[in-house]
Amino acid sequence: MALETQLSTDEKLLVIKMDDKFDFGKVQDFRKAYADLPESVNVVEVDLAHTEYMDSSALGMLLNMQKVLKDSVPTIRITHCRPQVLKILTISRFDKKFDIK
């Protein structure tokens, strides 16, 4: 499974669904996923339900997305984390920077 994006019918929510590996190989696809968002989007959700592995470049990609979207998207959340991914996010203190559910 590759990275997938889903825009809600009211164009207020963009969901980026990651596959099993969230690493440097996803840089271009991840950037494209949130580029050129409609102005109506007010929530971006990164769904990590299938992600079993993430490296430091994935953390950097999340921070970069937050930096790029900070003036246009008020809520960025990370959802459906598996325990090992949640542990990485927590150790990296991403729970202080993102809404993690």
Residue 3 domain flag: no
CA–centroid distance for 82 within its chain: 14
* 61: containing domain: 22-100
Residue 17 domain flag: no
Enter the pTM of the model: 0.93
Low-confidence residues of the chain, pLDDT below 50? none
**Residue pLDDT, tens place only, 25-40:** 999 999 999 999 999 9
Which pLDDT belongs to residue 2? 80
Residue 65 domain flag: yes
Count of domains for the chain = 1
Residue 15 domain flag: no
- Non-local CB neighbours of 9 within 8 Å, separated by 6+ positions: none
Residue 53 domain flag: yes
| CATH number, domain with residue 65 | 3.30.750.24
Residue 50 domain flag: yes
Residue 2 domain flag: no
Residue 1 domain flag: no
Which pLDDT belongs to residue 1? 57
